[in-house]
Amino acid sequence: MTKLINIAIFIAVLTAFALTGCKAQQPVEVTDYVMGTVLTQRIYGGNRELADHVTAQIRLLESQISTNIESSDISKISRAAGKSLIETSQIELIELSKEVSEKSHGAFDITVAPITKLWGIGTENARVPSKQEIEAVLPLVGYENIVLKDGKAGLTKQGAALDLGAIGKGAASDLALSLYKEKDITSAVVSVGGSIGLMGRRPDEKSFKIGLRDPFGSANQHIAVLLLEDISVSTSGSYEKYIEKNGIRYHHIIDPFTGYPAQSDLVSVTVIHKSGALCDALSTACFVLGYEKGKELLNEYGAKGIFIDKDKNIYFAGNLDNIFELKQDSGYRVVSR
């Protein structure tokens, strides 16, 4: 059941368009299921062995950072909260998470785990928790409680826990690109759910075309095309994972200050930056922050962004000239660039 739901989610918020009219070598194309979502790889000049190696390495990363895997470093850190520090190979990712938490003033916060666990959105146990339940665990949330020391990580408060769900897929896409590079690949596309990594350009020297999904449409409906090369891109949307109760929709991006789904009038945020992990973290942060503050945050990182609100208005952060092509009759309008 979960698998089905997740495959429906995969769908790519962003879709790398198939190449047409290109005489260059046929790429190897592989699809797998990892990190609760779909992993697709298209490697030009690569082979199946490389794709399988990348999948295996991403599964290894998942085994280290997943909250659903008891033996993961992240689960160990959470169990040891308030007691001890745990040695982990994922220090850099936790460090980057803490940095984005600081720069976003807590809008992005990987210590949001006690809250995301209560809601369980995206799992079979999804439900709307009571106000009391939320208030009881809210004091456990706070990135200041993350301790990093001598290759070890920990949490100062007992009961606190980590959730890398908002950065892990971007980190996985970075990992894939680094492994392609080791094999001297110069052109490839990897997507892990809504996080896409692009290596170089298409073999015909053109930019890759990435479809920006219609937040109100089905998975294969796009409102715009992004022309990109040698970069990463990630989307966070409220339409991805949600539950409904009494006619109210509760999505999976939490405002760590309230413990409830973020209410910023946005329906999706797409971030473009060299680092896939940063794109992933920043798209979640921006969804919580809203356009004005989100734009400031993206400026700090030299990242570009596309914010879409519930009235189908599109707002840009950074210069998207020659990158963003709105589809005619999309029903959306760019109101701020």
Interface residues with Mg ion (CB under 5 A) are 166, 236, 280, 283-284
How many CB atoms lie under 10 A from the CB of residue 94? Answer: 23
Q: Which listed option, ligand ADP, Mg ion, none, makes contact with residue 240 (CB within 5 to 8 Å by class)?
A: ligand ADP
Token pair, residue 168, equals 């892990």
Closest CA to 91 of 44, 135, 154: 154
Over the window 115 to 154, marking each residue x when it contacts ligand ADP by CB under 6 A and - when it does not, the resulting string is: -x-----x--------------------------------
State which residue, 122 or 305, has the beta carbon closest to ligand ADP. Answer: 122
State which residue, 50 or 171, has the beta carbon closest to ligand ADP. Answer: 171
State which residue, 177 or 262, has the beta carbon closest to ligand ADP. Answer: 262
Exactly one of 45, 165, 259, 294 binds ligand ADP (CB under 6 A); which one?
165
Measured in degrees and rounded to the nearest 5, phi and psi for residue 278 equal: -65, -45
Residue nearest to Mg ion (CB): 284
Closest approach of ligand ADP to the CB of residue 313, in Å = 20
Q: What whole-number distance in Å separates Cα of residue 86 and Cα of residue 65?
A: 13
Closest approach of ligand ADP to the CB of residue 206, in Å = 28
Kindly identify the residues of this chain, within the stretch 275-334, that bind ligand ADP according to CB under 6 A: 280, 284, 288
Give the three-class secondary structure for 307.
strand
> To 5 degrees, how large is the angle CA 73–CA 145–CA 66?
25
State which residue, 28 or 285, has the beta carbon closest to ligand ADP. Answer: 285
Contact between residue 134 and residue 160 where contact means Cβ atoms under 8 Å apart: no
How many binding residues for ligand ADP (CB under 6 A)? 22
Sequence-distant contacts of 298-301: CB under 8 A, at least 24 apart: 298/271, 300/103, 301/103, 301/273
Q: Which listed option, Mg ion, ligand ADP, none, makes contact with residue 307 (CB within 5 to 8 Å by class)?
A: none
State which residue, 129 or 193, has the beta carbon closest to ligand ADP. Answer: 193
Residues 6+ apart with CB under 8 A from 297: 103, 104, 282, 285, 286, 289
Closest approach of ligand ADP to the CB of residue 13, in Å = 8
Closest approach of Mg ion to the CB of residue 270, in Å = 11
Over the window 205 to 234, marking each residue x when it contacts ligand ADP by CB under 6 A and - when it does not, the resulting string is: ------------------------------
Residue whose pair of structure tokens reads 């492994």 in the numeric block: 179
Contact between residue 164 and residue 281 where contact means Cβ atoms under 8 Å apart: no
Q: What whole-number distance in Å separates Cα of residue 117 and Cα of residue 333?
A: 37
Closest approach of ligand ADP to the CB of residue 236, in Å = 3
Residue whose pair of structure tokens reads 């928790």 in the numeric block: 129
Q: What whole-number distance in Å separates Cα of residue 199 and Cα of residue 130?
A: 46
Exactly one of 72, 232, 236, 270 binds ligand ADP (CB under 6 A); which one?
236
Alpha-carbon distance values, 228 to 70, 168, 192, 274, 324 (Å): 38, 22, 17, 11, 9
Task: Report which residue type is found at 278.
Answer: L
Decide if residue 163 touches ligand ADP (CB under 6 A): yes
Kindly identify the residues of this chain, within the stretch 92-111, that bind ligand ADP according to CB under 6 A: 108-110
The site for ligand ADP (CB under 6 A) is made up of 108-110, 112, 116, 122, 163, 165-166, 169, 193-194, 236, 240-241, 252-254, 256, 280, 284, 288
